[in-house]
Amino acid sequence: MEVLEGRGLVKRYPNTVAVDGVHFRLRKGEILGLLGPNGAGKSTLIGMLSTLIPPSEGEILLDGIDVLKNPNIIRNRLGVVPQEIALYPDLTGEENLLFFGRVYGLKGKALRRRVEEVLEIINLTDRARERVGRYSGGMKRRINIGAALLHRPEILFMDEPTVGIDPQSRRLILDTIKDLNREGLTILYTSHYMEEVDFLCDRIYIMDHGKIIADGTKEELIARISNEETIELDFERNGKEFLPALEGLPGVHAVHQRGAKIEIVVEKGMVSLGKIVHLAENSKTSLLSVEVKKPTLEDLFLHLTGRGLRE
């Protein structure tokens, strides 16, 4: 059942169209991933859905009620974890939570109790009385999430909540998100990290240049490129003629050079490894390894846009 729906959402700025006719549905209890490179329009879409950015066109419905006409109906039911650390660095973690709890109308013992609960959820009870400015990147990210949980929202928007942190903190945050979802929280999760979306999300929207270019479950999306496979070549020396020769092979859809490696997207069963080895020999390219990879969301994005997610 859709809890939140965006219809034909457009956001125009003087020199650009950040979001261009997006149709969007968030179902109760799911984790919906919004995957796309930087500048794809993910944050603008979240800004519109959370009523901070007025759309140029389109409508947003929460349980069928027009949010743009009644913005207050969504505000108490929604928590937003912004991409930036939206906290006061000169206040302690606890003071920040107490303040934002009060902003959401919590008071007295109930507020104290909720702050303690949230500190436990984000695993920061021990460091709660230190100033946020002295926290590590991972701790700041966790308290940034905590501030959005204080008022027990039903829906949580998380805009790239793991940017710039170490793998250990990332893992902790991803596990916390899974736990929150298990407890019934509906989550919209944006990222340009394919692995995170892959790990967390039930359904995925892929966004680029302000448009949703694909959506579905991970399996549905991967199935779109099931007739393709990716071959990754690692080589010691690359002959000049090798790349053009690869591109000229029948069944090769795309060739991408990534540092010392080359990825070839080929039609399944159309290109044999023997042909590739033969071409390498002819162009005096000395290969170190050849690997056939399972298709990923990254491959899908590459397939759809011709670019990598992090390019």
Partner 1 sequence: MIWQMTIKDVKRMIRDKKALLITLLMPIVLIAILGFSVGSFMQGEITLSPAHVAVVHEDDLNRDLEKLKRVLTATPFARGIGEREMGEILGRLGSFHPAEVLTERILKDEKISSLITVETMGKAEAFRRLKEGKITAVILIPEGFAYRYWLSSLLPGISPSTVEVWQDPDQEIRAEIVEGIVRAYTDTLSAGILAKNVFQEVAVEMNRGDQAHSQIETLLTSVGKGEEKGLEVHFRSIAVEGKKSISGFQYYAAAMSAMFILFTAAFGAEYFIQESRLHTYERILLSGRGRGVLFAGRFLSTSLFSLLQMILLLLFSRFLFGVNWGDPLSLLPLLLLVSLGVGGLSLLLSAINHVAGNEKGSEIFSGFITQIMALAGGSFIPAAYLPDEVRLLGDYTINGASLQGFVKVMQGYSLREITPVFLSLSIMTLLFMAAALAISRLKEV
Give residues in contact with partner 1 (CB under 8 A). Answer: 50-52, 71-72, 75-76, 78, 80, 82, 84-91, 95, 99-100, 102-104, 147, 151
Is the Cβ of residue 100 or residue 242 nearer to partner 1 in the bound state? 100
Is the Cβ of residue 131 or residue 178 nearer to partner 1 in the bound state? 131
Residue 97 to residues 85, 146, 175, 192, Cα–Cα distance (Å): 13, 7, 21, 28
Residue 161's SS3 state is coil
User: Smallest gap, in angstroms, from Cβ of residue 104 to partner 1?
Assistant: 5
User: Smallest gap, in angstroms, from Cβ of residue 102 to partner 1?
Assistant: 5
For residue 164 the two structure tokens come to 């710039």
For residue 136 the two structure tokens come to 């590590």
User: Smallest gap, in angstroms, from Cβ of residue 21 to partner 1?
Assistant: 25
User: Smallest gap, in angstroms, from Cβ of residue 242 to partner 1?
Assistant: 48
User: Smallest gap, in angstroms, from Cβ of residue 83 to partner 1?
Assistant: 9
Is the Cβ of residue 127 or residue 218 nearer to partner 1 in the bound state? 127
Is the Cβ of residue 51 or residue 191 nearer to partner 1 in the bound state? 51
The Cα–Cα gap between 262 and 234 comes to 7
Is the Cβ of residue 103 or residue 292 nearer to partner 1 in the bound state? 103
Beta bridge partners of 256: 263
Q: Please, what's the largest Cα pairwise distance for the chain?
A: 77
Q: Tell me the helices (H) and strands (E) count for the chain, helix number first.
A: 11, 14
Following DSSP, what letter does each residue of 2-64 receive, concatenated? EEEEEEEEEEEETTEEEEEEEEEEEETT-EEEEE--TTSSHHHHHHHHTTSS--SEEEEEETT
Helices (H), ranges, 80-204: 93-103, 108-121, 137-149, 167-182, 194-200
Is the Cβ of residue 153 or residue 295 nearer to partner 1 in the bound state? 153
User: Residue 275: in which H helix or E strand, if any?
Assistant: helix 273-282
Smallest Cα–Cα separation from 176: which of 215, 144, 137, 151? Answer: 144
Is the Cβ of residue 75 or residue 171 nearer to partner 1 in the bound state? 75
User: Smallest gap, in angstroms, from Cβ of residue 29 to partner 1?
Assistant: 22
User: Smallest gap, in angstroms, from Cβ of residue 70 to partner 1?
Assistant: 11
